[in-house]
Amino acid sequence: MIVPTKKPIEIQLNLTPMIDLIMNLLIFFMLVSQMSVVERTAVDLPQVSQGRAPIIKPEDKVAVTMKSKPGTDVPTYQVGAVGVDDLAEVSRRLMQVKAASPAVEMVLRAEKTIPYRYIREVMQAAGRLGIRTVEISVNMSG
C-alpha cells in the first residue's frame, strides 16, 4: 500500500522589511551624528550686561504737536511746550534741539482733522535735519 506523504514545507524568509528597517536606521543615525557635530561647534556668543532696554533721557525726545486752527485746515504748531507760527519756525526749533542732543527722536502728535500734507512736511523737515526716528502718536480704542 502506498502511503500518501505530505509535501515538505518550504520556509521562505522575506528580508525586504528588515532591509527597509536597517536602511531607515542607518539614515537616522547618519543625520543625528551630523547634528551632534553642529551642536558641539564653539561659538563666542555676546554677553548681556543687563536685562533692560536702554533708558531714554527726556532731552533725547521732542514732541511736535499739530492742532487745527478753527475754521481752516492749516495747523498751529507746538515744539515741546513752545507754540510756533509756521513750519520754518518748527524747523529752527528742531535744529536747536538736534544741536543740543544729536540722538534726538521726534514724537509727532497731530489731530485727525489735519491733512496729511502738513504732517508729511514736518516729517520731511525732521529728516532734512537728521532726525531719523519719528514716532506718531495715536489713540488706541478698545
Q: Is residue 80 part of a domain?
A: yes
Residue 4 is assigned to a structural domain of this protein: no
22-75 confidence digits (pLDDT tens): 999 999 988 887 665 544 545 444 555 655 545 555 567 888 888 888 888 788
- 119: enclosing H helix or E strand: helix 116-128
Residue 48 lies in a domain: no
Domain that holds residue 86: 58-136
Quote the number of domains for the chain: 1
* Whole-Å CA distances, 6 to 9, 11, 39, 140: 8, 15, 63, 90
Of 53-67, 88-102, 113-127, the range with the lowest mean pLDDT is 53-67
Distance CA 94, CA 127 (A): 11
115: domain CATH number is: 3.30.420.270
Q: Work out whether the CA dihedral 123, 93, 140, 51 comes out positive or negative.
A: positive
For the cut 50, the answer to whether the pLDDT of residue 129 exceeds it is yes
Please indicate, yes or no, whether the overall pTM of this predicted structure exceeds 0.75.
no
